[in-house]
Amino acid sequence: MIMQTQAHSGIAAAARSAAPAISVRNLRMGYGARVLLDGVSFDVWRGEIVVILGGSGSGKSSLMKSIIGLYEPMAGDIVIDGRSLVKASADEKAQLQRRLGVMYQSGALFGSLNVLENVRFPLDQFTDLTLEHKNLTARMLLHQVEMASAESLMPGELSGGMLKRAGIARAMALGCDILLLDEPSAGLDPITAANLDRTILAIRRNLGFTFIVVTHELQSIFAIADRAIMLDPVSRSIIAEGKPADLRDHSHDARVRQFFNRQPDALKRRAN
């Protein structure tokens, strides 16, 4: 193999641009009359890894599903690459959604397809590639997430970590450059979780992908996040935004310090 390289910016240059990859503007969302999030606004820039965190029931996963377009917001807007997801027609919305790769908490692999077929699925649906080329692409994706040896296994035969890694490979298959991951490290052993963090960082480094990661695993947050956005179930909005280490060490908000320092509630502490 011979490769001569030149020092132009390649993927990274194409990826850098002035407009944010995703912009959430004054979002209000909920279920029925119950408002879960109100007045939520933030931008995610290209190549950035943004972690959405908060306690259970703070609306992290719901926010992610709103960004994907699965939930209709009550008010506000979600803008992807300068185009509004909320105001888009059904076709435009489908096009915008194809720009996003999503890994759900359980991996959400199709049970009737093996791992290779699952990763190949988006390529089967949306490209004219030959089977050989689709298989090579899918195998390279599996190699990136260290799942090459599991390509012929069915989802039912995979562990939790393997399901999530295969889910990430499938999310990346269609050339999307924005990945949304819902609780990628939840329920994984420390080594598998660390491997997954390393995979996320490697994908960002090599491909310049933008990540929005919903998690409350502190070790993962410190390992991967450029910026953390913290939601609060009481105020139903963002209570902190910044680098995780800064939030932990310098936040003036007791709730933020409590979260990052894994402190129990004051009441419970007294009771104990």
The alpha carbon of 152 is separated from its chain's Cα centroid by a whole number of angstroms, namely 26
Contacts (CB under 8 A) with another protein, residues 162-221: 172-175, 177, 206-208
Options 86, 88, 129, 186; binder of another protein; rule CB under 8 A: 129
CB nearer to another protein: pick between 11 and 75: 11
Q: What are phi and psi of 55, to 5 degrees?
A: -70, 175
d(CA 28, CA 86): 12
CB 171 within 8 A of CB 101: yes
Q: Report, in Å, the least distance between residue 145 CB and another protein.
A: 11
Site string for another protein, 140-169 (x = CB under 8 A): xx-xx---x-----xxxx------------
Range list of H helices, 127-216 = 131-144, 160-172, 190-207
Q: Give how far Cα 248 sits from Cα of 52, 213, 216, 252, 257, Å.
A: 15, 18, 14, 10, 5
Say which residues have a Cβ less than 8 Å from residue 162's Cβ, sequence separation at least 6.
Answer: 147, 150, 153
Our finding on whether 6 is near another protein (CB under 8 A) is yes
- For residue 4, the one-letter residue type is Q
Options 16, 87, 94, 126; binder of another protein; rule CB under 8 A: 126
The count of chain residues that interact with another protein, using the rule CB under 8 A, is: 44
Q: Report, in Å, the least distance between residue 6 CB and another protein.
A: 5
Our finding on whether 91 is near another protein (CB under 8 A) is no
Our finding on whether 1 is near another protein (CB under 8 A) is yes
Footprint of another protein on this chain (CB under 8 A)? Answer: 1-14, 111-112, 122-123, 126-130, 133, 136-137, 139-141, 143-144, 148, 154-157, 172-175, 177, 206-208
